[in-house]
Amino acid sequence: MRHNMEVAICGIKFKNPVIAASGTFGFGSEHAGYIDLNRIGGIAVKGLTLEPKKGNQPPRIAETPSGMLNSVGLQNPGVDYFIEHQLPRLKGYDTRIIVNINGNTEEEYCMMAEKLQGKPVDMLELNISCPNVKQGGMAFGTDPDTVYNVTKSVRAHAGQPVLVKLTPNVTDIREIAIAVEEGGGDGISLINTVLGMAVDAKSRKPILANVVGGLSGPAIKPIALRMVWEVSKVVGIPIVGMGGIATGEDAVEFLLAGAAAVGVGTANLISPTACIDIVNQIEEYMRINGVEDINELTGGLIV
């Protein structure tokens, strides 16, 4: 039996639903010595900003039970450097390229979207967990009106479909997701990291220099699954589910909860072959359970 692994997100075909999530896979080439990048569905590159950024002071990584905290602070070489030096390498691979963009203002997001127009990039991923400097530092993604406005503005300046990556640090994720759809967003990436902190009891100090950071890894999977399921009930645009996926079975759970594809993040830091392992494990699940088409699984949760 032939098993169809192909999925379509925002009209773009992916050979399989496994995407290397932004922030744990660099710009792809860092993993090329470990896995065949042509075998994964897509790569969401490390988050980019308009100008180069050094990120936060160390220590900025802390291990936690079943997960990790990070306050890297979007260290990156800037969008122009990416276009000139990283993108030419990436476009040589037979995989979809998703560029994660971050801004301090609505205008910065739009400028980045314009720079990426006409480039060999398949999608933009709008990270709206960033602080909006014009609104006193509150993250874009926590207010429905702000989410609607920034999504609508970027959509007007983008040449590619726009995925909007949502923060889970809100009261009701559904109203944020509805704002994305109403603002013209083509899809949703869900979830970003959960705000947390770690303390060293001996020194009585926070472990992270930034005090707080984003929690990721298996510890957040139940939260992510719940949010993907909730959002899938209220929007008609596709969801890329992420948050603690470490196995093929984890990925299948997200598809059943309503995701059209999945992002693999922290697992890449544990094993550089994680994405390929998960592709193989999904194929094995399909074989054992008689699933001919991966798309049969999306939204297939029996409640």
The distance from CA 135 to its chain's CA centroid, rounded to whole angstroms, is 24
For the record, the structure tokens of 42 come out as 């897509």
d(CA 253, CA 298): 9
Token pair of 88 as six digits: 């030419």
Can the peptide bond before residue 191 be classed as cis, meaning omega within 30 degrees of 0? yes
Strand boundaries in 231-296, DSSP class E: 239-242, 261-264
Q: Please indicate whether residue 10 is annotated as part of the active site.
A: no
Between CA 248 and CA 254, with CA 253 as vertex, the angle to 5 degrees is: 100
Is the CB of residue 238 less than 8 Å from the CB of residue 187?
A: yes
Q: Is the peptide bond before 276 cis (omega within 30 degrees of 0)?
A: no
According to DSSP H, which parts of the chain are helical? Answer: 79-81, 87-90, 106-115, 144-157, 173-182, 221-232, 248-257, 267-270, 274-289
The strand pairing partners of 96, in sequence order, are 42
The CA-to-CA distance between both ends of the chain, in Å, stands at: 29
Which value, in Å, is the radius of gyration of the alpha carbons in the chain?
Answer: 18
Q: Name the helix (H) or strand (E) containing 82.
A: none
Q: How many residues does the chain have?
A: 303
What 3-state DSSP class applies to 5?
A: coil
- Tokens standing for residue 264: 């693999």
Please report where in the chains the tokens 């390229």 appear, as a residue: 97
Among the listed residues 10, 110, 130, 275, the single catalytic one is 130
Q: Which residues are catalytic?
A: 130
